[in-house]
Structure 1
Amino acid sequence: MSSDILDAATPSGSDGPSDREGRATARAQRTVLARALRNASYEILPFKNTEESVLAHVPKDVALTVTTTEARGLDRTLELTERLSGHGYATAPHLAARLVRDEAHLVDIVARMREAGVDSVFVIGGDAPEAAGEFPDALSLLQRLDAVGHPFRTVGIGGYPEGHGTISDELIEKALRDKAPHATQLVTQLCFDAGTILRWARRVRADGVATPIRVGIPGVVSRQKLVRIAAGLGLGPSARFLAKQQNMLWRFFLPGGYNPKRLVEALAPQLGGADHGIEGFHVFTFNELEKTEAWRRDRIARLSS
């Protein structure tokens, strides 16, 4: 299906069974895509003006995740999560395993999130070159979370449709199989090709991972903003960042930046498929919240008209 079919007007001419069936299919896909965009979650970065920007531009029915970086530390993420939860947002912090010192530190984090009314977390290994303590990877933190009896309704983990820049596919696939029993949701890293995403999701499902999948997509992001974000995170000169994100960088450096319309419409016919488990979208906003939310509202309005 081309990227424009979901917006196309009803064709003129004959109205045979195949025409009616085609229009019914298009309407159904529009409905499914509109629902997926209404239920999309946003990923935000814990910068100085993030809270203000969220309050100004993001409705409270949009779930949020707050990233964690080695440069800014875990406390910045937890503090922003607490404040946004206090404003009425469903907010999940990224818990970077390599930044958690020990079980006592983890229990304190869990207690803080419970007190703030936070019922979701997203568990990652993190990019710190050395672990701060007992947790070298996401799996070890997930296992300890289960052991301490966490209260979280949703526990997210990451997936890599295009692989990982520094870890073999075999190890990534094994790690996903090991982590999946501890998680309720799987969010993919950025990938711009619907076919690659679908093939990966089907392979994951065939490998026994039944965790529901949210496809990670970029928001409406300019190349200038991406450069500023990368520099602000301390990632600009990082070989690790470039190795993992070279495909993303190449596409963002195209004139005008990136608009996710083609990708979401290419995935629309597949949403809810039983053979792959793709159920929705997770938007990497890079804090371009005003533009991304305007795009989302516009797409929902067009799809619902």
Structure 2
Amino acid sequence: MFSDILAHYSIEATAKDVGAIIIADGLPCPAEVYVPYLPEESDASRIEACAMIRRAGLEPVLHLSARRLTSLMALETLLAALRDQAQIERVFLIAGDLAQPVGPFSDSLSVIETGLLESHGIRTVGIAGHPDGHPDVADDVMWQSMDDKLAALGKRGLGSQIVTQFSFDAQQVLTWLRAVRARGVTEAVRVGIPGPTGVRTLLRYATRCGVAASAGAIAKYGLSLGRLLGNAGPDRFVSELRAGLDPAETGQVHLHIFPFGGFAQTADWLVRSGARSPDCRAA
């Protein structure tokens, strides 16, 4: 059903959940596995998670949260360990959700400009995209920030891609994609979608992640605030997104899955939706 847009999909797995994704029954292998930078998890657990992903024959992508990096040395130590233990070549770089940085980095650009990423073997850097806008940052500032980061990565010979937060409004995502391309940005975009999960769980994550969850947006997704029981899948959203994609206007687009309902439900949805790649356990 969605086999074309699911080709080369990516997925998130916390450090404690990496073992589950590697052995998930029937899960078609993702192109990339993202390990989020959770404050309750240590650098050691993140590094080991990336190493496990690499040993399974998959591509690890660690989130780097600029405002949570305590020092230049801490960044260099982390990158060196990721290179040595996980042969990591890709990271996803975000500013982070802290109001004030704990170290010298206030944003993603300040990390890029250290030169440490490429010196430790990083070849591709993902940056964040916000189709619904950002609750704390004006749109013009967000656009300029994207331009500045992509320019800085290009000057350093680093590849780049854009990874978005999930959204409930496919038309809003399509409008944003066209705006991205209108700025001359040609990098691949990974559009975030939630995997199938309970309605209450989905809305809880939306609140936590700052995703616009107005009654109108929720209705477009196929949900109702009056019906909070049962599960919700991304079929309607993906179908509408897929129908609106046009290589000339929206460029290269893949899906990035947040498996809020667990890997078993996500694997089942992927198979039913036409994802065709080897089972991860066969990697």
Is TM more than 0.5 here?
A: yes
Structure 1 residues 102-117: aligned runs within 5 Å: 102-115=71-84, 116-117=86-87
Q: Does 1:56 align with 2:24?
A: yes
Letter in 2 for 1:276: T
Q: Percent identity?
A: 30
Distance across 2 between alignment mates of 1:74 and 1:211: 29
> Counterpart of 2:95?
125
Structure 2 CA distance for partners of 1:68 and 1:287, relative to 1, 3 Å: farther
Q: Does 1:247 align with 2:213?
A: yes
The structure having more radius of gyration, on CA atoms, is 1
TM-score, with normalisation over the residues of structure 1?
0.75
Distance across 1 between alignment mates of 2:139 and 2:121: 32
Query: Equivalent residue of 1:184, what SS?
Result: strand
- Listed one character per residue, the Cα deviations across residues 91-130 of structure 1 (whole Å, up to 9, x for unaligned) are 1110111122233222222222222122211111111333
Q: Which has the higher contact order (CA 8 A, sep 6+)?
A: 2
Q: Does 1:177 align with 2:155?
A: no
> Counterpart of 2:233?
259
Unaligned residue ranges in structure 1 (runs of 5+):
1-29
TM-score, with normalisation over the residues of structure 2?
0.80
Structure 2 CA distance for partners of 1:287 and 1:110, relative to 1, 3 Å: farther
Letter in 2 for 1:125: A
1:248 is displaced (CA, Å) by: 8.2
> Counterpart of 1:90?
59
Distance across 2 between alignment mates of 1:214 and 1:248: 23
Q: Does 1:153 align with 2:123?
A: yes
Are the aligned partners of 1:155 and 1:184 in contact in 2 as well (CA < 8 Å)?
Answer: yes
Structure 1 residues 1-305: aligned runs within 5 Å: 33-47=2-16, 49-57=17-25, 58-115=27-84, 116-145=86-115, 149-181=119-151, 182=153, 184-223=160-199, 225-226=201-202, 241=208, 244-247=210-213, 251=218, 254-271=228-245, 273-286=247-260, 288-300=262-274
Query: Equivalent residue of 1:189, what SS?
Result: strand
Are the aligned partners of 2:168 and 2:212 in contact in 1 as well (CA < 8 Å)?
Answer: no
What value does the CA root-mean-square deviation take over the aligned residues? 2.9
1:225 is displaced (CA, Å) by: 4.5
Query: Equivalent residue of 2:93, what SS?
Result: strand
Distance across 1 between alignment mates of 2:275 and 2:112: 39
Distance across 2 between alignment mates of 1:226 and 1:101: 32
